[in-house]
Structure 1
Amino acid sequence: MTKKLGRPTDNPKPHKLTVRLDDRGLEILDNYCRKNNITRMEGIRQGIYKLDDEK
């Protein structure tokens, strides 16, 4: 059996998370993403990376 081919990437994302947000958290995320023209997942990634920058 051959391996299934997908879009090549330099930054694979093999980990899947499920996140539960309240209404306020979703509103904050959606407003940020709309303002910066990014997806929700990219907004979440940027927030996680920002936590590392605060060290």
Structure 2
Amino acid sequence: MAQKKMGRPKSDNPLKDRIFVLVSDETKAQLNKCTEVLNTTRSDVVRKGIKRIYDDLEK
């Protein structure tokens, strides 16, 4: 009987694309403040911001 592979389970919506962004010191500080207050990662803050703007456009 074949053993199951160890590791992270496959995601329904894998995060496979990278986006690089140039920001000012002020924007970087704002992003870092958001990560501290929300206790999350920079990537999550950016994703939430994109989702919020997208949802506003759909209204």
Stretches (4+) displaced over 4 A: none
Q: Percent identity?
A: 29
> Larger relative contact order (C-alpha < 8 A, sep ≥ 6)?
1
Structure 2 unmatched runs, 5+: 1-5
**Rg larger in 1 or in 2?**
2
> What is the TM-score normalised by the length of structure 2?
0.74
Identify which of 44, 48, 52 aligns with 2:50: 48
Q: 1:30: which partner in 2?
A: 32
Q: What's the RMSD between the two structures over aligned residues?
A: 1.6
> What is the TM-score normalised by the length of structure 1?
0.79
Q: How many residues align?
A: 51
Q: Return the offset for 1:10.
A: 2.2
Structure 1 unmatched runs, 5+: none
Q: Return the offset for 1:36.
A: 0.4
Q: 2:3: which partner in 1?
A: none
